[in-house]
Amino acid sequence: MKRVDDMFDSGMVDELAEFYKPGSDNRTGLRKAIGVPEFDRFFKQYPPAGPIQDEVHNPMREGAYQEAVKAIKDNTCQLAKRQIGKILRLKRAGWDLRRLDATEAFRSVLMSDSHGGDGGGEEFSDIWKKQVLEPSVKIVKRFLME
């Protein structure tokens, strides 16, 4: 799954390592976020000590790591299937669903941050307004007028 691979390429494991707390309950709140429960077992076996990529190669560790990655991919796939199912149920029930995509707005923030910028600032605001805010307002107005 490209999305999960991109998350790993962006440093997901190091973020998870910072978030890891031994003995935490991963069934509530932010601890249910993608990757936290899946990497819990890995971090119990191999407690994080620094950037994961810097660790010495160990076949057992690599196997545990790949198992956690596979679990994330499997769980993400199941989540997507459930979300699609919910969307289809709402459509069958007569809901007029609209898709809004904020990807470009967030991409502008991320690109700006990665280049030492101010977080996208004005560009983010313009993209957000054009691709998210204005279409949202139009949808709500149309709904209220019906």
CATH number 1.10.287.890 given to 2-92: yes
CA distances from 100 to 37, 87, 130 (A): 29, 14, 11
In the predicted model, is pLDDT for residue 9 greater than 80? yes
Instruction: Say which residue the tokens 């990807």 belong to.
Output: 103
Mean pLDDT of the region 83-92: 96
Residue 34 tokens read as 């993608």
Hey, where are the domains in the chain? 2-92, 103-145
Look at residue 50 in the predicted model and tell me its pLDDT. Answer: 55
Residue 68 tokens read as 């956690």
Look at residue 26 in the predicted model and tell me its pLDDT. Answer: 67
**Rounded to two decimals, what is the model's pTM?**
0.66
Give tens-digit pLDDT for 35-68.
888 888 899 888 887 555 545 578 888 899 999 9
Give tens-digit pLDDT for 98-128.
999 988 888 887 776 555 555 556 788 899 9
CB-CB contact of 78 with 71 (8 Å): no
Look at residue 108 in the predicted model and tell me its pLDDT. Answer: 82
In the predicted model, is pLDDT for residue 80 greater than 60? yes
Mean pLDDT value across the chain: 83
- Residue 97 or 25, more confident: 97
